[in-house]
Structure 1
Amino acid sequence: MDLPRIFAIREADHRIHNPLTEHKLATLGAAVRLRPGQTLLDLACGSGEMLCTWSRDHGIHGTGVDISTVFLAAAEARAAELGVAGRVTFVHDDAAGFVLPEPVDVAACIGATWIGDGLPGTLTLLERSLKPGGLLLVGEPFWRLDQPDQAIVEGCGFKDRDEYDSLPGLVESFGRLGWDVVEMVLADEDSWDRYAAAQWFSLRTWLDANLDDELAGQVRAELDTAALQYVRYRRPYLGWGVFALRRR
């Protein structure tokens, strides 16, 4: 059980596997008013940067769950580097369906709502590990246009524009599902650049060293189109943010 290799190649040098910079991640931690001793579950935690830095900065304890052995090894190394290995635990498992036996103060899924087959299912899954009155954190894309055309949709890597909503539509959907939005931190063009453009450097570095690898053709094809697709479509038309929610 693991992620396909291409994901580890593409984001080999990422500590944050979504369009948040270190500054925005710190802003989010402060915005949701974390307190020492609170507990956090992070489903699809990637390399564990959120859990590790928030444990260092706010004194929280927590568990991160991810399917990638490469990312989890990076998470454990980061916890040791920051001196928080005794407060955070990382679990190699499929985040879809993962529920902790003891509920937590904060349950998060930052940019991986496919683990619940979409936003409603992911909120339901997270709530199963949440204390009454606790906080959910969910990261989700949204369209900057209310009605993106099909070329934009496909250029952003999706098949159907209805996979995601506009920002007002997304916020409205939280209310329909029974949640109040109590905070949010949104990506901007700079944080999108740091997420996307760093992938191209990682891909090219890997390709230069692995021309005979079975994935070399796939990596070369991605490099041929990734930058132009990004600046033409995803950068101007796709938004992304993390939303803090409390049950109504």
Structure 2
Amino acid sequence: MAMLAVRGGMPTSLLSCSLSTVDRQRLSSIAHSHHPIAAPIFGVNVNRLLRRADRRPAARILDLGCGEAAWALQALAHYPDGHADGVDVSRYALERAAAAAAERGLADRLTLHERDARTYVPDGDYDLVLCVGSTHIFDGFAGTLQMAGRHVNSDGILVIGEGFWQVPPTPQALAALDAKPEDFTDLAGLVDVAEQAGWTPVYAHISDAAEWDNYEWSWVGSLTEWALDNPGHPDAAEALAVAREHRDQWLRGYRNLLGFATLVLRHT
């Protein structure tokens, strides 16, 4: 989901923070180096979600805003004869995805596309479409249901990870996220939006506080460590400032207020 502007997270401002002159995609890739799932979810729960989405051994899988393709690669472990397409604009993330696929012996079963997911035109429909923490690509949850959902075949599964308000947002949370109250609904509201768009949840995972803390500390810590390990790099000072700003926004802003739900959806 990449929490505030790129992959891995959710809103469109946490991940990018105040990156002004540095390469946002590169720093996001560094920030996710210890958490390639790029969403506040433990690996065991990723597997649980993929098991619930299991449809057929030779499934065609599409991951929109795939980042390092952690979800797509793990899905291939559940579909032994399947093939996955991963779509993302970040060449840094896709380079890591290609390396991970090669290391796991899955390079021939994963095709990576460096392009805007909004313009991706596939060759046929997919059995499983993933868009976790990347709904900003399609201007939010409703847009993702429509745009990502069009790639799902009639018997397929759509998995979307999206933020929601656990409790009414405070002014500090809204400022930290650069958000308005209406940018997110509550959990029941997410289900309502899905059903109104013709999708029925058959399973969901709601990320807990431990998953959130692990994600955020991994994001901040990875970027901080890189900056401290590379003090002479021209981007080191700004990377350290971005990590500190993000940490402050999280701890003093949206911690325990913003939730994250990953929904497994079928056509109604």
Q: TM-score, normalised by structure 2?
A: 0.84
- Whether the 8 Å contact between 1:97 and 1:125 is mirrored in structure 2 is no
After TM superposition, list the pairs within 5 Å mapping 1:158-169 onto structure 2: 158-169=178-189
Question: What is the percent sequence identity of the aligned residues?
Answer: 30
Aligned to 2:17: none
Q: One-letter code of the match for 1:195?
A: Y
- Whether the 8 Å contact between 2:132 and 2:262 is mirrored in structure 1 is yes
Please, which runs of 5 or more residues in structure 1 have no aligned partner? none
Among 124, 127, 131, the alignment partner of 2:149 is 127
1:74 matches 2:87: no
- What is the Cα deviation at residue 228 of structure 1? 4.1
Among 103, 106, 110, the alignment partner of 2:128 is 106
- Whether the 8 Å contact between 1:3 and 1:68 is mirrored in structure 2 is no
SS in 1 for 2:39: coil
Q: How many residues align?
A: 245
1:46 matches 2:48: no
Among 224, 239, 246, the alignment partner of 1:226 is 246
After TM superposition, list the pairs within 5 Å mapping 1:1-248 onto structure 2: 4-59=25-80, 60-145=82-167, 147-155=168-176, 157-248=177-268
Q: One-letter code of the match for 1:236?
A: N
Q: In 2 relative to 1, CA 81–167 (structure 1 residues): closer, same or farther, beyond 3 Å?
A: same
State the alpha-carbon separation in 2 of the partners of residues 161 and 214 from structure 1: 37
How big is the alpha-carbon RMSD for the aligned residues of Structure 1 and Structure 2? Answer: 1.9
Show CA shifts across 1:169-226 (max 9, x none). Answer: 1111111222111111121111112211012221222111333434333223233343
SS in 1 for 2:202: strand
- Whether the 8 Å contact between 1:19 and 1:187 is mirrored in structure 2 is yes
State the alpha-carbon separation in 2 of the partners of residues 123 and 97 from structure 1: 15
Which is further off, 184-193 or 224-233? 224-233
- Whether the 8 Å contact between 2:129 and 2:152 is mirrored in structure 1 is yes
Q: One-letter code of the match for 1:190?
A: A
- Whether the 8 Å contact between 1:63 and 1:89 is mirrored in structure 2 is yes
State the alpha-carbon separation in 2 of the partners of residues 110 and 57 from structure 1: 18
- Whether the 8 Å contact between 1:97 and 1:116 is mirrored in structure 2 is no
Q: One-letter code of the match for 1:233?
A: G
- Whether the 8 Å contact between 1:41 and 1:106 is mirrored in structure 2 is yes
Q: In 2 relative to 1, CA 46–190 (structure 1 residues): closer, same or farther, beyond 3 Å?
A: same
State the alpha-carbon separation in 2 of the partners of residues 15 and 216 from structure 1: 21
- What is the Cα deviation at residue 104 of structure 1? 0.8
Q: One-letter code of the match for 2:102?
A: A
Please, which runs of 5 or more residues in structure 2 have no aligned partner? 1-22
Q: TM-score, normalised by structure 1?
A: 0.91
SS in 2 for 1:99: coil
